[in-house]
Structure 1
Amino acid sequence: MSISALIPIVSSSAVRRRLPLVGAFCLLSLGLHNLHPSLSLSSNPLSRLSFGSKTQGFRSSSIRMEASNQTTVPSIVVYVTVPNKEAGKKLAASIVKEKLAACVNRVPGIESVYLWEGEIQTDSEELLIIKTRESLLSALTEHVKANHEYEVPEVIAMPITGGSVAYLEWLKNSTRE
């Protein structure tokens, strides 16, 4: 099937309703056969990729990497918001000093919109992106609660499922056990 034959299919309103802007990127990188099996372009190497198998492949290779390398530990990324630059600097420094994290990135200039005591609030904040061991989450959460000015500080953790083994080893060696 030629590309010119596919343009009317991709342009149809049925397909456009199902494709957000990100869909165009997926379409280019993953191939049309993921939208509909009959649209496969066997001559296009990108069309041979399958979103499902790509995702599963990433996950399984990440697990293999961690299982085969006993020098890393289960690690997480934790998000914490703070009201301003000074609070961010102070909290980030105390977290690293206490070896509760290997690294804290401070991202200024975020705007948070949230519901608090029945009212919609909008505040300028700074985001802390904290890389640490999974086993330190409770201690890190308690440290944030004790050193944060918010009544209910944000502490959200997500697993690190893979990445640079050297970085993950550094993370392990830079934090307490």
Structure 2
Amino acid sequence: MISGKYSVASKNMRSEITLTSIVSTSAVRRRLPIVGAFCMLSLGLHNLHSSSSLSFNPLPRLSFGSKTQGFRSSGIRMEASNQKTVPSIVVYVTVPNKESGKKLAASIVKEKLAACVNRVPGIESVYLWQGEVQTDSEELLIIKTRESLLNALTEHVKANHEYDVPEVIALPIMGGSIPYLEWLKNSTRD
């Protein structure tokens, strides 16, 4: 349970609100880790130093090379001396429902195109399609894999997806738990 006190100032009154009272419903508590993970992946916290200064660049510079080169970032890189890991990515794919999410996730892992696929139910997507604003309930797949497998994963998704234009968006993994990243490498094909 998250707890803590925060002061809130209004026009003529100052009061304290506990975070516990704000985060009181179980639905909100269940989604906080997902929201936090999404924010960390999307915003790209990097350049953390042990000193008291904290550098934060909300938009890390990414440069995309050719299809075979992948992408590079100017931020933190995984230890170059660690030969037990490989450049890794997180890929987002949305699917229309639970059944197609289960089926696609299982096929991706079975083909060793990813080490792990998280299925996040209950998202709502708002997007422009054929000149009209659309709103659909979907499920989000969060796929952890090697950077070198992005093209094969993209082709697999396109071949096994119900949508004409399936979402396949890749974000770099800038670092993390070395044992987890070793497991990711060992659980995917070369």
Is TM-score (shorter-chain normalized) higher than 0.5?
yes
What code does the residue aligned with 2:53 have?
Answer: L
Q: Are residue 108 (structure 1) and residue 134 (structure 2) matched?
A: no
SS at match of 2:120: strand
Asked which structure has the greater CA Rg, the reply is: 1
Aligned counterpart for 1:72 among listed residues 71, 85, 96: 85
Distance 1:131-1:52 versus aligned 2 partners, 3 A rule: closer
> C-alpha displacement at 1:70, in angstroms?
1.1
Aligned to 2:98: 85
Aligned to 2:112: 99
Aligned to 1:135: 148
Q: Is the 8 A contact 2:146 2:188 kept in 1?
A: yes
Aligned counterpart for 2:131 among listed residues 110, 118, 139: 118
Structure 2: gaps (5+ residues): 1-50, 61-72
> Greater strand share, 1 or 2?
2
Distance 1:149-1:62 versus aligned 2 partners, 3 A rule: same
Q: What TM-score, normalized by structure 1, do the two folds share?
A: 0.67
Distance 1:138-1:52 versus aligned 2 partners, 3 A rule: closer
Q: 2:74, 2:125 → 1: CA distance?
A: 35
Number of residue-to-residue matches in the alignment: 126
Q: 1:168, 1:83 → 2: CA distance?
A: 30
Q: Is the 8 A contact 1:62 1:163 kept in 2?
A: no
> Greater helix share, 1 or 2?
1
Aligned to 1:49: 53
> C-alpha displacement at 1:48, in angstroms?
4.0
Distance 1:174-1:123 versus aligned 2 partners, 3 A rule: same
* Higher RCO structure (Cα 8 Å, ≥6 apart): 1
What code does the residue aligned with 2:159 have?
Answer: A
Q: What TM-score, normalized by structure 2, do the two folds share?
A: 0.62
SS at match of 2:80: helix
Q: Is the 8 A contact 1:111 1:124 kept in 2?
A: yes
Distance 1:92-1:52 versus aligned 2 partners, 3 A rule: closer
Q: Deviations over 1:72-103 (max 9, x none)?
A: 00000000000000000000000000000000
SS at match of 2:79: helix
CA RMSD of aligned residues (A): 2.2
Aligned to 2:178: 165
